[in-house]
Structure 1
Amino acid sequence: MQPEAAGSGDVVCGNDVIHGNDVFDVLRRSRPAEPVLCLDQALLNHRAKAVVANFGGEICYDVAVNPHPLVLAALAQAGIRRFSVLRVGDLATLAGLDHAVTPVLRQPINSRPNLRIAAEHYGVRAFAVDDPAELVKLREEVPADGIEVEIMVCLSTIRSPGEITDGAADAVEGMVRTAIDFGFRPSIAIHPGISSASDIAVALAYCHSLARRCGVALDAVNLGSAELGRDDETIEGLGIAADLHARLLGLDPARLRLDASRMTVDGCCSVLAQVLLRKGDAIYLNDGRFGWLRPLDRRLRRNAAPPRLRRLEGTHSAASRRFCLFGPTCDSYDAFQTQIVLPADVREGDWIEFPAMGADTIAWACAFNGLHPSLFAVIAPPNGLQTGARASTRSHLHARLAEETGR
């Protein structure tokens, strides 16, 4: 790929990162031969700041959702400070950010060397556990001074309190007491996370009761990964519900945490995949289920924003039809179950933009058959994010929000 010389509004390609004013700008100037994961920088900045502003406690981010360094840097710049990792290797990326952040080793089962590396080399002071044996291991490998342990509790076990066995309840209570005996600061982390105001009420009532039974003040309550359960649920609504239920129970809303990873980054990225071949109603793309499009079926089944045809030369037909999608490999797994609607005259060389692909794309992509997507594009209008809120930036942002929500 031979990029043009950089100038005003030009694309700059380097280290597998492309910069452009919009999707068409990226495609016209860079002429990529691979699929491209595009980040809408202004939209990510807007969403991250909105999430931070609308939750009274601490917003957390799971690095595995989208580990790209540019995404992590933008989130830290927007005010998100608590980042959880499953791999010790991701701690190096967090250490390289311009803003100081709090790293959390969220993998509840770890090797002893990884615990020591996390604590000694990267200064990790927060660890997730879900078994008493891991508490013992942590005590043996990491000095207890200032260490927080997030004791993980499954939401499904507390939605129906009558179904909780005495053994399960005693195990959590026992871990809280053991953590205190070891000199750790105990907190509770609900997993996989809440999806409604009723989930918040149940989770906080459980944690309030647990703290009273143990006779301690929990360091914090992490409500887990927020997955909006209904179309009318919003991060603002969840924030209000969390604040209300915390105050009713005499809890400090500032000590609540919420993992808003997916709702923050998902709608801010799209995947551009090129049509390699059309055979009737079958389309073969240069990306598939082994690449960035792995979560596509799940997105489409959840009524996400529909894919859009991006043709660089000429106009496409006004008529439309349904197509089956296939990735570039010969493996039977590389076939998508959900059909999509596109202009009827789709042809080789066309590009298809798949919106709302910011989560679970980079982390799941692999190098099967030697094909591994690596091109990353940052979409930012001239004088956009870097120069503050100008009219062009606001128009661009509002247009993308309207397009994504279908309004």
Structure 2
Amino acid sequence: MVADAQDIKHARFDMARVTDLIEKNAPDAPIALMRPEALRRSAQTFLRGFPGAVSYAVKANPAPDILDTLAKTGITAFDVASVAEMRAARDACPKARLHYHNPVRSVAEISDAKALDVASWSVDRRSELDKLGNLPPTSEIAVRLTLKRAGGAYDFGSKFGASADEATTLLQEVVARGMTPALTFHPGTQCTDPSSWSDYIAACAMIATRAGLRLASLNVGGGFPSDADTDATALAQIFATIRSAVATHFPDHPPKLWCEPGRAMVADALWLLLRVKARSDDALYLNDGVYGALGEWRDMPVPGRRIVLQTDGRTRSGPTCGFTVFGPTCDSLDRVPGTWHLPAEIGEGDYVLLTGAGAYSLALVTGFNGYGTREIFNLSSLCVQAGQHRLAS
């Protein structure tokens, strides 16, 4: 997603709103700042650039405002992992196409999902295929493949995924039961290696040939890197690799192509505005932490910038040093791994603005000790008034 003049313009506009908010209101609670224009532009990048159809992985951020904006931008298919996510997607888009690609489900969940008319189901083992019971012939069963190869920030194949031999057998069983065969995979989160997709696509073509069938669709998963942590051409290179790999390995009857971005779709759609509650030497205590919107930091550094703002809204600069960052709860485990390099003069009352925080942040808030980012403000319509925040009507 290229940072063109419009991206820069909108980022500057949003930054001006943030500084105005701080100067006039001095918010003491953590705030999520929604950037709808950035979200629309991200969705359009996939809709225009990906060589197939696009679904959104709801797990990355199920906030109603996020889902509503995506639906209005043209996203009408949603990758869902639970019945609750199905209902959230349908609230935003009543005719949404649902891909239930969490491969393990209870019998009760399957019953509820059938009532919601799921279009595509994923399986990676015979027992889960058996659980599905009778489905209409139009029901797509996407067998989930894993090659157990590195490529992403962490491996998505350690929990789910059938081997090539298992996938071949499962596909044949899908056809024998009168349902529509498909394949899916996930290369791992924040995957920047285009060959991950081409290797998986080649393996899917080989499996379909061995199974003696034609795939109705091929879902190349998510894992796309967010633009906050990669160069401007990374997505374009991945899209081109996918297009070329499908043409090479499915030359005669290419399956319908799907992707299911989560992080890459919504990462830049939210900024987090946190405040320093206290400083003790090289330790900072913020008003949210790993039990809240910084939950994913326990597993991996989140892409984006960390900008320190003073109480008058001005950016704090100067020499930096490393800080240990703690959250606001009484638990000593509420600590962000590693160190954050921030301006050495940062102090109590300052703000830390985290960009690229739209994925998984709000979805992981626990509310432990009564803390955690809960408020969301729309930067495109935020009216800042002395002593209060409100959204413009």
Tell me the TM-score range normalised by the shorter chain. Answer: 0.7 to 0.9
CA distance in 2, matches of 1:104, 1:374: 28
Q: Could you tell me how far apart the structure 2 residues matched to 1:238 and 1:252 are?
A: 22
Report what 2:197 is aligned to: 200
Counterparts of residues 321-360 of structure 1 (less than 5 Å): 321-322=320-321, 323-360=323-360
CA deviation string 1:249-271 (max 9, x = no partner): 21666712222221121123221
In the alignment, which residue of structure 2 is the partner of 1:37?
32
The equivalent residue for 1:81 is: 76
1:148 counterpart = 2:149: no
Query: What is the 5 A alignment of 1:80-159?
Result: 80-98=75-93, 100-120=95-115, 122-140=116-134, 143-156=135-148
User: 1:402 is matched with which residue?
Assistant: none
Q: Residue 317 of structure 2 contacts residue 343 of structure 2 at CA under 8 Å; is this kept in 1?
A: yes
- In structure 2, the residue matched to 1:361 is 361
Divergent runs of 4+, >6 A: none
Gap change, CA 1:378 and 1:174, over 3 Å in 2: same
Give distance in 1, aligned partners of 2:15 and 2:315.
Answer: 23
Find the counterpart in structure 2 of residue 292 from structure 1. 293
Residue 172 of structure 1 aligns to a residue whose secondary structure is helix
User: How many Å apart are 1:145 and its aligned residue?
Assistant: 3.4
Runs of at least 5 residues in structure 1 that lack an aligned partner in the other structure: 1-18, 160-166, 383-407
Residues 319, 25 of structure 1: alpha-carbon distance in 2 compared, 3 angstrom cutoff: closer
Note the C-alpha offset of 1:279.
Answer: 1.4
Taking only the aligned residue pairs, the percentage that are identical comes to 25
Provide TM-score, normalisation by structure 1: 0.79
CA distance in 1, matches of 2:253, 2:72: 26
Q: 1:46 aligns with which of 30, 33, 41?
A: 41
Report the TM-score, using the length of structure 2 for normalisation: 0.81
Is residue 56–residue 253 contact of structure 1 (8 Å, CA) maintained in 2? no
Contact (CA 8 Å) 1:20, 1:377: kept in 2 or not?
no
State the Cα distance separating 1:355 from its structure 2 match.
1.2
Secondary structure of 2:208's aligned partner? helix
Is 1:310 paired with 2:309?
Answer: yes
Cα distance between partner residues in 2 of 1:289 and 1:139: 41
Instruction: Return the offset for 1:244.
Output: 1.4
Give the aligned residue type for 1:371.
Y
Partners of 1:206 and 1:314 in 2: how far apart?
Answer: 53
AA partner of residue 128 (structure 2)? E
Residue in 2 aligned with 1:401?
Answer: none
**RMSD of aligned residue pairs (Cα, Å):** 2.7
Equivalent-residue separation in structure 1 for 2:290 and 2:223 (angstroms): 25
